[in-house]
């Protein structure tokens, strides 16, 4: 069963059980899929489905931060609930140690020694961790490791 089929089954179950919050979140997910399909003019692959879900999760996290700044706890709770539903369908996030290990593996693989090699490292690294770690976090970790390497 594909991820998309699983979401469709869960959507029908939420509809039948009148779980309004879950139903709303699944509608949001399905709408994002539909928009991406219209944009691409073809059906989404499982990798593309994960990419869409990752984008949605990132948007929800940003919304939560902004709503907290604005003191809107009602909207924070709503966004957190939606984020929880989205995370159910995403692959499990990599632990920090695993990300660090993969970064060091890629650094030695491309024989990187300075910050100017960052693009080559990211090109090799990102396909390996796609959907399982936040790109900004990975980018910051790679930058820090390379800067430390340059200093020593």
Tens digits of residue pLDDT in 95-122: 889 998 999 898 888 888 788 888 898 9
pLDDT of residue 11: 94
List, in order of start, the domains of the chain with CATH numbers: 3-89 (1.10.1510.10), 96-151 (1.10.10.410)
pLDDT of residue 30: 95
**19-22: long-range contacts (C-beta < 8 A, 24 or more apart)?**
21/78, 21/81, 21/82, 22/85
Q: In the block, which residue shows the tokens 């003191």? A: 71
Neighbours of 121 (CB within 10 A): 22
**Tens digit of pLDDT for each residue in 50-60?**
889 989 999 99
Total-model pTM: 0.75
Mean pLDDT of 134-143: 87
pLDDT of residue 116: 86
DSSP codes of every residue in 86-117: HHHHSPPPPPHHHHHHHHHHHHHHTT--SGGG
Write the secondary structure of 8-25 as one string of H (helix), E (strand) and C (coil). Answer: HHHHHHHHHCCCHHHHHH
**Tens digit of pLDDT for each residue in 2-14?**
889 999 999 999 9
In contact, 87 and 54? CB cutoff 8 Å: no
Q: What is the mean pLDDT of the chain?
A: 89
- Measured distance CA(11)–CA(18) in Å, rounded: 10
* Phi, psi of 45, rounded to the nearest 5 degrees: -80, 170
Mean pLDDT of 70-84: 93
- Measured distance CA(106)–CA(142) in Å, rounded: 10
SS3 50: helix
Instruction: Give the pLDDT band (50/70/90) at residue 47.
Output: confident
CA 74 to chain centroid, in Å, comes to 24
Instruction: Give the pLDDT band (50/70/90) at residue 129.
Output: confident
CA 136 to chain centroid, in Å, comes to 11
């Amino acid at each position: 069963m594909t991820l998309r089929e699983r979401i469709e089954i869960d959507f029908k179950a939420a509809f039948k059980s009148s779980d309004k919050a879950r139903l709303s979140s699944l509608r949001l997910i399905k709408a994002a899929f539909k928009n991406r399909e219209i944009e691409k003019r073809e059906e989404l692959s499982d990798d593309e489905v994960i990419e869409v879900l990752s984008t949605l999760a990132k948007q929800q996290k940003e919304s939560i931060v902004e709503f907290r700044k604005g003191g809107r706890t009602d909207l924070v709770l709503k966004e957190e609930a939606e984020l929880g539903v989205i995370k159910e369908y995403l692959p499990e996030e990599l632990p920090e140690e695993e990300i660090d290990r993969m970064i060091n593996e890629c650094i030695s693989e491309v024989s990187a020694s300075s910050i100017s090699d960052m693009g080559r490292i990211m090109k090799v690294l990102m396909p390996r961790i796609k959907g399982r770690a936040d790109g900004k976090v990975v980018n910051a970790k790679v930058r820090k490791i390379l800067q430390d390497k340059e200093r020593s």
